[in-house]
């Protein structure tokens, strides 16, 4: 499985510039189990949205079934057509819509953060 386009020089340059402008996400959510604060998915996307857009970068996240396993695929793309992606198998504690939604939000937040 290809994890990046053949060349990523333009993407790497743009990502470097975007990372220089990205400030930390605001820890605006509370985990009652651990009694700690964390940056939710919205905060993570919000802090990176403008720096990414200003450098012709975008992020797409989608679910795909790969080798029988449901995975979250996160792709960082540049206007040049260059891209990199990560693939994270979804591990669910329960097979109900609430668990799927919670797992997707969690995996999206971490995959998004890791890729940018």
| Residue 40 reports pLDDT greater than 90 | no
Q: pLDDT per residue over 17-32, tens digit each? A: 999 999 988 787 777 7
Percent of the residues in the chain that have a pLDDT greater than 70, as a whole number: 99
Give dist(CA 55, CA 13) in Å, integer: 9
Q: pLDDT per residue over 55-114, tens digit each? A: 999 999 999 999 999 999 999 999 999 999 999 999 988 889 998 898 999 999 999 999
Query: Residue 70: left if φ>0, alpha if ψ -120 to 50, beta else—which one?
Result: beta
């Amino acid at each position: 499985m290809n994890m990046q386009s053949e060349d990523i020089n333009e993407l790497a340059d743009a990502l470097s510039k975007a990372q220089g402008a990205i400030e930390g996400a605001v820890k605006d959510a509370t985990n009652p189990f651990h009694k700690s604060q964390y940056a939710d998915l919205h905060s993570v996307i919000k802090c990176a949205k403008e720096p990414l857009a200003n450098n012709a970068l975008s992020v797409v996240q989608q679910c795909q079934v790969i080798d029988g396993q449901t995975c979250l695929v996160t792709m960082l793309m540049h206007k040049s057509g260059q891209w990199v992606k990560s693939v994270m198998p979804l591990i669910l504690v329960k097979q109900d819509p609430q668990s799927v939604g919670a797992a997707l939000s969690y995996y999206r937040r971490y995959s998004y953060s890791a890729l940018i």
